Structure 1
Amino acid sequence: MTAKPSVLFVCIHNAGRSQMAAGYLTHLASDKIEVRSAGSAPANSLNPIALEAMREEGIDLSNQIPKILTSDTVQASDVVITMGCGDVCPFFAGKCYLDWKLEDPAGQDLSAVRVIRDEIRRLVEELIMEICP
């Protein structure tokens, strides 16, 4: 891994799970980790319920937009974390790939999205402990 590790979060629409994970990692690791997120089939905008759930945590994602997953983005990342997009993510030797089994927040109410959000925070906190000395 490089001096400043980089993490890419990937889900299908880049509108919920991957954006929440990127928001937490940016918030909790400050500038120790380069953070990216992308989707295999990006939505037009972020999930408003995910935005609200993250706002409750003091994290504002309103300036984020869903981004398309590219091979260059994967190649530029040390750790690639997939969340339900599995096989569409390009594979490059030497990258660390993790798959987080998380429910999709799309179409869910705020209480359900809070449960997903809290699980994402737990996983992000574990990730920080693993990759930040």
Structure 2
Amino acid sequence: MTTKPSVLFVCVHNAGRSQMAAGYLQALSGGRVEVLSAGSAPKDQINPVAIEAMAEEGIDIAANVPKILTTEAVRDSDVVITMGCGDACPVFPGKRYEDWELEDPAGKDLETVRRVRDDIRSRVEALLAEIAPSA
């Protein structure tokens, strides 16, 4: 039996980019991937504009709660995707790290957040095709 790959999405506040990416991977993978998200300095709630943008795609992230980045979360993940968290992410040998340069949707209008969301979706689709191709 093979274990499913795990992906950790990390941004500073865990309120926008990482939550949207996690929402997409959860929805698109159909359970083939374990999905985690965290922030180096998490906010107390998810960005309401990110919630609205994802709802347009039929993905509900409204009940999600920003989480603090832990060393264990990084250690337990196969792939770590950072989004502007700089050196806050611990690095472990043998892990796959990618840094996705994405505009921070915090305080932005819905049109801007949609653009960020669509960029995230295409990156998530490419990642999913690599790490857990459908049968």
Q: TM-score, normalised by structure 2?
A: 0.96
SS of 2:10's equivalent? strand
Q: Distance in 2 between matches of 1:126 and 1:59?
A: 19
Q: Distance in 2 between matches of 1:49 and 1:82?
A: 21
Q: Distance in 2 between matches of 1:41 and 1:130?
A: 30
Deviation track 1:4-39 (CA, whole Å, cap 9, x = no partner) reads: 000000000000000000000000001100000000
Task: Name the structure 2 match of 1:99.
Answer: 99
SS of 1:28's equivalent? helix
Shift of the alpha carbon at 1:86? 2.0
Task: Name the structure 1 match of 2:29.
Answer: 29
RMSD over equivalenced CA pairs, Å: 0.7
Task: Name the structure 1 match of 2:63.
Answer: 63
SS of 1:35's equivalent? strand
Q: Distance in 1 between matches of 2:30 and 2:129?
A: 14
Amino acid across the alignment from 1:128: L
SS of 1:82's equivalent? strand
SS of 1:3's equivalent? coil
Q: Distance in 1 between matches of 2:42 and 2:132?
A: 29
Q: Distance in 2 between matches of 1:52 and 1:71?
A: 31
Amino acid across the alignment from 1:22: A
Task: Name the structure 1 match of 2:124.
Answer: 124
Identity of aligned residues (%): 66
Report runs of 4+ in structure 1 exceeding 3 Å deviation.
Answer: none
Number of equivalenced pairs: 132
In structure 1, runs of 5+ residues without a counterpart are: none
SS of 1:106's equivalent? coil
Q: Distance in 2 between matches of 1:45 and 1:25?
A: 20
Q: Distance in 1 between matches of 2:8 and 2:30?
A: 15
Shift of the alpha carbon at 1:3? 2.4
Q: Distance in 2 between matches of 1:83 and 1:30?
A: 24
Q: Distance in 2 between matches of 1:26 and 1:123?
A: 14
Amino acid across the alignment from 2:104: D
State yes or no: 1:113 paired with 2:113: yes
Amino acid across the alignment from 2:73: T
Aligned ranges 1:9-88 → 2 under 5 Å: 9-88=9-88
